[in-house]
Amino acid sequence: MVETQSVSAETFEAEALPHFDDLYRTAVRVLGDRQTAEDLVQEAYLEAWKSFQRFEPGTNCRAWMFKILFHVIHHHRRKWFRFKFNSEDEAKLEQTLVYEPPIPEQVTDEDMLAALDCVPQNYRDVLLLADVQEFSYKEVADTLNIPLGTVMSRLSRGRAILRSQLTNFQKTPQEEIAKAAPSRVSV
């Protein structure tokens, strides 16, 4: 019996542990707090270990781990927070979806992360899984327990919001020079 437990532990380590960094980075982006993200990733690994006997070898362990992580995050949110979508948020969302300005050519990592933080949470989750982690739409739907059409809709809207936010963070070189230069008064 000791031999089967060690083989199972070795299998778990080989299958699940390589995805730790991806899970942690995604949790930090979703939650916005490193400590909470660390705690929830550890909880996800604990849940994965407890149910590893149900994991089917040869299937996508990465997707399985992300599904567990988002389940843990959802449980955490339900337990501690009560999110309300009010009419002010809805109006703000409509304003961001009206105009799609072009994305500037030079986008820094800081600009991208700041813009991503401005995207509403339900859209950000889909963006992170589909565009950053490169999951298929079906895998995203399974991970977040939402319909495939909702994934496509949230991804489209999330990308539009992100695009809009990126244009807010970017300034043209002429604007930066004008702000940095002292104003000249003609006499």
pLDDT, one tens digit per residue, over 19-60 is 999 999 999 998 888 999 999 999 999 999 998 888 888 888
Kindly give, in sequence order, each residue whose CB lies less than 8 Å from that of residue 57, ignoring residues fewer than 6 positions away.
11, 15
Listed range (43-57, 76-90, 159-173) with the worst mean pLDDT: 76-90
Q: Given this model, what pLDDT does residue 93 score?
A: 62
For residue 99, the one-letter residue type is Y
**Length of the chain in residues, anyone?**
187
Q: How far is CA 29 from the centre of its chain?
A: 5
Q: Given this model, what pLDDT does residue 185 score?
A: 44
Q: Given this model, what pLDDT does residue 168 score?
A: 74
At residue 51, the 3 state secondary structure works out as: coil
For residue 18, the one-letter residue type is P
Instruction: Indicate whether 125 pLDDT > 80.
Output: yes
Residue entry with tokens 């936010």? 165
Dihedral sign for Cα atoms in the order 148, 149, 151, 155: positive
Q: Given this model, what pLDDT does residue 124 score?
A: 93
User: Which has more confidence, 17 or 169?
Assistant: 17
Query: 65: pLDDT confidence band, cut at 50, 70 and 90?
Result: very high
Instruction: Indicate whether 1 pLDDT > 80.
Output: no
Q: How far is CA 139 from the centre of its chain?
A: 14
Instruction: Indicate whether 126 pLDDT > 70.
Output: yes
At residue 175, the 3 state secondary structure works out as: helix
Instruction: Indicate whether 5 pLDDT > 60.
Output: no
Angle (CA) 12 40 83, round 5°? 140
Query: 156: pLDDT confidence band, cut at 50, 70 and 90?
Result: very high
Q: Which two tokens stand for residue 86?
A: 């009010």
Query: 86: pLDDT confidence band, cut at 50, 70 and 90?
Result: low
Q: Given this model, what pLDDT does residue 19 score?
A: 92
Q: Given this model, what pLDDT does residue 90 score?
A: 60
Q: Given this model, what pLDDT does residue 79 score?
A: 74
Q: Given this model, what pLDDT does residue 113 score?
A: 87
At residue 167, the 3 state secondary structure works out as: helix
First-to-last CA distance in the chain?
A: 93
What is the pTM (predicted TM-score) of this model? 0.54
How many whole angstroms separate alpha carbon 132 and alpha carbon 125?
Answer: 10
CB 126 within 8 A of CB 66: no
Q: What is the largest CA-CA distance in the chain?
A: 93
